[in-house]
Amino acid sequence: MSSSTATEVPQVHKDDVEVFSYDEQITRLFVLATVIWGVIGMLVGLLLALQLPFPEANLGEYLSFGRLRPLHTNAVIFAFAGNAIFAAVYYSTQRLCKTRMYSDWMSRFHFWGWQAIIVSAAITLPLGYTTSKEYAELEWPISIAIAVVWIVFAINFFATLKYRRVKHMYVALWFYIATIITVAVLHVGNNLAIPVGALESYPIYAGVQDAMVQWWYGHNAVAFFLTTPFLGLMYYFLPKAAERPVFSYRLSIVHFWSLIFIYIWAGPHHLIYTAVPEWAATLGMIFSVMLWMPSWGGMINGLFTLRGAWHKLRDSVVLKMFVVGITFYGMATFEGPALSVKSVNALTHYTDWTIGHVHSAALGWNGFMIFGMIYWLLPRLWRTPLWSDKLANAHFWVGTLGILIYVIAMYVSGVTQGLMWRAFDEAGRLMYPDFMETVVQVIPMYWARFIGGALYLAGTLMLVVNVIMTIRNAPATLPDAAQVSARKPVSLEASGDGAAVATAGGDGATPSPSVEEAKESSTTQDDGDDDDDDARPGTKRVQLPSPGDS
Amino acid sequence: MSRFIKKDGMHRSLEGWPLVFTVLTTVAILVGGLVQIVPLMLAGDAETRIDTVEPFTPLELAGRDLYIAEGCVGCHSQAVRPFRHELERYGEYQKAGETVYERPFLWGSKRTGPDLARVGGKYPHLWHVRHMEDPTSTSPGSIMPPYPWMLEKDANLDVLPRKLRALRSLGTPYTDDEVENAVQIAQQQAEEIAREIEQQGGPANLESKQIVALVAYLQRLGTDIDQAPETAEQEHDAGSAMEEPTAEARD
């Protein structure tokens, strides 16, 4: 940074304030990991999309469809979305709590441990070491490693909450809490197994029980890995980018509690008309339908946050990404309940519609929320303007087009399969008794899906270029900016009467005491943290003395 | 309710207590799973047990683990639903009692290829060998990947005693003899299958190969209930199964 000389803090006695900083490097690491694994996960997905219409693309034992499919799902869920979640959590939690993460060491352990887990997945899955349980394919030693890393993450997170400087936890933190607790419970519950070799095991559950436990886990991996942390991300970054407070505080309470309570019940909708008891499948269906409302509570709270700010979409690729992401969230969470209704499920289950549904959520909701967040974070973390807004906009349009082509192709393919499988001729015999007829029929849709996926990946590569070029323009060193806080927690009552909190983002040598910094809005939820929203990349920052100095 | 969520209401206080908040969250996310899964665990499989359903033989178990390793479940379900069109296409719908030895369950969630729950006995051994070597040779137009290495690689049978022992500790009723002599029992079955493949005009000397274990497993799928004496309860089940497709066909 331009100046790192110590400056005095006028009007505030140094004993009255604490000087601290946010760990920004950990967020940078997770952002970079997100981008790298995103490209790899999508490349594997594209290869799979090619293998279906063009089986010659099954490149031998280690790169055949069956072995690569779990690699694709694990890479995009746990590596791409996972690293993005951690980037969001580490960036926003520190600011929402006005404190550095409890332990830098734990943050690093989390980062490198998680990357090691991903690498071990990328090695073992093509070698055929898999439990076969969807999204829980990794064998027992890796499962244990996941649990250990997750627990370290949890300790680091909850200790940060404990030492926070802001009394009330903002809604994003509620969703992070639900994520961390539930993923731990699900992961341990579903992976209980007896090892029979270094990388082989049998689950302690069998048959119907195993199915129920697996989809209790599998569906809630969607809920608590791909939904709740992303809602937390939305609640933090969307108001930031829109510079508007969250639409409704009450709605955030109601939809948070109903969402986390109801989601858990929805698992058996993956098992409708199978050998699980009828009551379980019916419960799964009913709660899935109920889930529509809390899901849309989140969508409404997100979209309505933009009230009065819609014009900002024109110039902000971040907001465009967020709006499309949230819209796909709304569509996917309407589609999900619909697909879990028994009569609809009878048609769509086992077809490509499921794949379309998953990708409208994964590419639209998760992908675009991640991209929006990265485009917002890049200039802030690297303190350099984004290299190319045009390229970012091109990413947005190419990506959106890619999703639409992908999803529509899968809808057409899914309905075609469902109808052909059940069609009877006038004599009451199967119209298409040869399954192959139903396969050949949808191959053109597989090609369309390949094109949609390729477009989406092309958009992601544009992001990669923007990331690389932006970082190349960044300053050589990026020290964590100092933050200053009053030594005593600022209570609501005290706000407004000159709480002695100085901002580190001021220009020059006079950090001015800022009321806004200390105030916690009690009427609407504002964007939650106490960041200086006006601090833009390029603003000169002053390095304040660290607590040890002077 | 409004007392709870109004500004500066009770929830506002809750937001200041991370520990209480976390405990309440934990309770909220545990309820659904407990209600749905615990009764199933407590009930066990006594009600759904079918007498003729036996554990997999050692060779079938080896084949099943290959089926898992190759990710077959990604494209093939093993769960025939009680619809008329599925009964016509695949055979009898799948019953809970048929899966009591399935660790893990392999019902799947996608049918890029057909369901395999009743594939046992549908084709001769040689068909499976040819199909795995080159799917288009038996099924023109197939988009399934070829698995030629399964005809070349040896199946790993040495781990079978350990696997059977682990499964027995979880409740699968293998006898001491089966656990001790798992390798020999598997080899015996493999030789039998390899001989039949040769008799059908296929390649010789496959008995040690992965393909034989896989064929053993595939030929077993869904065959256990063939021997089941038709009981009153099962007739009732079949009857209710026929009601569903009628409703569905009306749609």
Domain boundaries, chain B: 2-43, 58-244
Q: Per-residue b/e over B109-148, b at no fewer than 16 CB within 10 Å?
A: bbbbbbbbbbbbebebbbbbbbbbbebeebbeebbbbbbe
Closest-CA residue of chain A to B90: A433
pLDDT score of A263: 96
Which residue in A has a C-alpha nearest to residue B160's C-alpha?
A196
Question: Residue B110 and residue A204: Cβ atoms within 8 Å?
Answer: no
What's the pLDDT tens digit per position in A336-346?
999 999 999 99
Chain B hits for A253, Cβ within 8 Å: 4-5, 11
Contact A425, A431 (CB under 8 A): yes
Of A132, A182, A189, the CB nearest to B104: A132
Beta strands in A88-240 (DSSP E): 193-197, 200-203
- Decide if A261 touches B, using CB distance below 8 A: yes
Q: Are A449 and A406 in contact (CB under 8 A)?
A: yes
A·B CB contacts under 8 A: 263
Between CA B101 and CA A334 the distance in angstroms is: 37
Residue in the block written with tokens 């296409």: B89
Distance to chain A for B165, nearest Cα, Å: 9
Average per-residue pLDDT in chain B? 89
Q: Using CB atoms within 10 A of its CB, is residue B173 exposed (0-12), middle (13-18) or buried (19+)?
A: exposed
Residue A445 pLDDT grade (very low, low, confident, very high; cuts 50, 70, 90): very high
Phi, psi angles (nearest 5°) of residue A483:
-115, 150
For residue B15 the two structure tokens come to 């937001």
Q: CB of A204 within 8 Å of any CB in chain B? A: yes
Of B6, B94, B140, the CB nearest to A274: B94
Would you place residue A485 in the very low, low, confident or very high pLDDT band (cuts 50, 70, 90)? confident
B103 and A210 in contact by Cβ < 8 A?
A: yes
Evaluated on CA atoms B176, B179, B184, B188, the torsion sign reads positive
CATH topology for the B58-244 domain: Cytochrome Bc1 Complex; Chain D, domain 2 (1.10.760)
Distance from CA of A279 to the nearest CA of B (A): 9
Surface-to-core class of residue B239, CB atoms within 10 Å of its CB (0-12 exposed, 13-18 middle, 19+ buried): exposed
Which chain A residue has its CA at the smallest distance from B23's CA?
A: A181
* Residue carrying the six token digits 């302690």: A204
B34 and A CB contact within 8 Å:
no
B104 CB near a chain A CB, below 8 Å? Answer: yes
Contact B85, A195 (CB under 8 A): no
| DSSP-derived secondary structure letter, A81 | I
Q: Which residues of A touch B77 (CB under 8 A)?
A: 350
Buried b (16+ CB within 10 A) or exposed e, A221-242: bbbbbbbbbbbbbbbbbbbbbb
Whether A380 shows a pLDDT value over 50: the answer reads: yes
| Residue B114 touches partner A, C-beta closer than 8 Å | yes
* Other residues' Cβ atoms within 10 Å of the Cβ of residue B14: 17
Subunit contact A194:B170, Cβ cutoff 8 A: yes
Between the CA of residue A545 and those of A7, A17, A100, what are the distances in Å?
Answer: 7, 12, 16
Residue A452, both tokens: 């949609």
The pLDDT assigned to A273 comes to 96
Residue A63 class from Cβ within 10 Å (0-12 exposed, 13-18 middle, 19+ buried)? middle
The closest of B82, B81, B83, B79 to B106, measured between CA atoms, is: B79
Q: B1, B50, B103: which to substitute to probe chain A, counting the most A Cβ within 10 Å?
A: B103
Query: Which residue from B minimizes the CA distance to A52?
Result: B143
Give the other-Cβ count within 10 Å of A367's Cβ: 28
Whether the CB of B40 is below 8 Å from some CB of chain A: the reply is yes
Chain-centroid distance, C-alpha B181:
25
CA-CA distance, A58 to A373, in Å (whole number)?
35
Q: Rounded CA gap, A212 and A223, in Å?
A: 16
Q: Is the CB of B5 less than 8 angstroms away from the CB of A174?
A: no
Name chain A contacts of B45, Cβ cutoff 8 Å. 206-208
**Mean pLDDT, residues A46-59:** 97
Residue of A nearest to B142 (CA): A436
Tokens of A51: 């293998």
Q: Is A7's pLDDT higher than 90?
A: no
* CA-based nearest residue in chain B for residue A57: B145
For residue A489, name the pLDDT band (cuts at 50, 70, 90).
low
- Contact criterion met (CB below 8 Å) for A478 and A24: yes
Q: Does A163 touch chain B (CB under 8 A)?
A: no
Supply the DSSP symbol for A63. Answer: G
- Determine, for residues B40 and A212 on separate chains, whether the beta-carbon distance falls below 8 Å: yes
Q: Give the residues of chain B that fall short of pLDDT 50.
A: 230-251
Amino acid at A296: W
Task: Tell me: pLDDT of A96 over 50.
Answer: yes
CA dihedral A226→A232→A234→A235, nearest 10 degrees, is 160
Give the residue-averaged pLDDT of A209-233. Answer: 96
Minimal CA separation from B150 to chain A, in Å: 9
Q: What is the pTM of this model?
A: 0.88
Beta bridge partners of A424: A430
- Nearest chain B CA: its distance from A105 CA (Å): 23
Q: At what angle do helices A368-381 and A24-51 cross, to 10 degrees?
A: 150
Q: Is B225 on the interface with A (CB under 8 A)?
A: no
B41 — contact with chain A (CB < 8 Å)? yes
CB-based contact A206 B105, cutoff 8 Å: yes
A16-25, A133-142, B82-91: lowest mean pLDDT where?
A16-25
- Grouping H, G, I as helix, E, B as strand and the rest as coil, residue A309 is coil
Q: How confident is the model at residue A472 (pLDDT cuts 50, 70, 90)?
A: very high
Using one digit for the tens of pLDDT, what is the confidence trace for A422-442? 999 999 999 999 999 999 999
Q: Dump the DSSP string for B100-165.
A: TT-SS----SB-SS---TT-TTTS-HHHHHHHHH-HHHHSTT--PPP-GGGGTSBP--TTHHHHHH
Question: For residues B182 and B161, is the Cβ–Cβ distance under 8 A?
Answer: yes
Q: What is the pLDDT of residue B81?
A: 96
Scan for tokens 């609407």, then name that residue. Answer: A524
What percent of chain A stands above pLDDT 70? 86
The reply to whether residue B37 touches residue A129, judged by beta carbons under 8 angstroms, is no
Residue A23 CB-half CA count within 13 A: 24
Q: Write out chain A residues lying below 8 Å of B28, CB-based.
A: 257, 260-261
Separation in Å, CA B184 to CA B64, B196, B212: 18, 19, 15
Query: Which DSSP helix (H) or strand (E) runs through B37?
Result: helix B18-43
- pLDDT tens digits for B8-35? 789 999 999 999 999 999 999 999 999 9
Contact, B166 vs A196, CB < 8 A?
A: yes
Neighbours of B48 (CB within 10 A): 18
Query: Given B32, B99, B167, which is nearest A207 (Cβ)?
Result: B99
Helix axes A140-162, B18-43, angle to 10 degrees: 150
Tell me which of A318 and B247 has the higher pLDDT.
Answer: A318
Q: Give the gap in angstroms from C-alpha A87 to the nearest C-alpha of chain B.
A: 21
